[in-house]
Amino acid sequence: MQELVVATKNKGKLREIKGLLKGLDLSITSLADYPSAPQIDEDGLTFAQNALKKAATLALYTRKLTLGEDSGLEVEALGHGPGINSARFSGENATDRKNNLKLMRCLRNVPLSRRQARYRCFAALVDKDGIVDTASGQCQGIITKRARGKNGFGYDPYFLIKRYGKTFGELDPAVKAKISHRARALRKIKKILRGYLKQHNPANKSHRL
């Protein structure tokens, strides 16, 4: 079975990715399975740069097929911030709680009519020979004034989907798995992986006698 290493230590993100790639003939591991892997400094200027750096660094170390993913929240009223700094929004020792408290402080005097936001995701597949392919996805929403629901992680309890009238924190995970930024990017990655696995399956290669 082909191994896919996901370049993350985020348990919530890994759980979502495993669910979105369910059905593929893959053994999915993560940075937690490679404790001696080099530290990856996410110093890119875009989600794409960070995703590619994570995937390439870990692929070079493990010599295995690797998925790098970078995602974050962009709020119009904050100049599309926190963006690539979403996970570190509240500083060096950031947590989901601290990030959300800072988000609420920054939007304290901003009315709901000006709280438009979007989640963005960029994913990159890299193996020992180089970049396999990339994909991206996004999801539009509004930032609420208080937390709603306990599902998901990150900013999910504050990210309202108008169509459902619920935040990602309230939505059934099965619904989120269809409409989220990560779901949209990973659907493309799943299609790419199907082709990759077919191409790299020894049983599908012809052998000369």
Amino acid at 121: C
Q: Of 70, 127, 129, 133, which one is the catalytic site residue?
A: 70
Strand partners, 29: 5
Q: Please count the other Cβ atoms lying within 10 Å of the Cβ belonging to residue 12.
A: 13
User: How far does Cα 84 stand from its chain's mean position?
Assistant: 12
Residue 70 annotated as catalytic: yes
Amino acid at 80: H
| Domain architecture of the chain: domains with CATH | 2-204 (3.90.950.10)
DSSP state of 134: E
- Return d(Cα 179, Cα 127) in angstroms, integer: 28
pLDDT tens string, the chain, 209 residues long: the values are: 899 999 999 998 999 999 999 999 999 999 999 999 999 999 999 999 999 999 999 999 999 999 999 999 999 999 999 999 999 999 999 999 999 999 999 999 999 999 999 999 999 999 999 999 999 999 999 999 999 999 999 999 999 999 999 999 999 999 999 999 999 999 999 999 999 999 987 665 544 43
Among candidate residues 132, 119, 172, the one with its CA nearest the CA of residue 149: 172
Radius of gyration for the alpha carbons in the chain, expressed in angstroms and rounded: 18
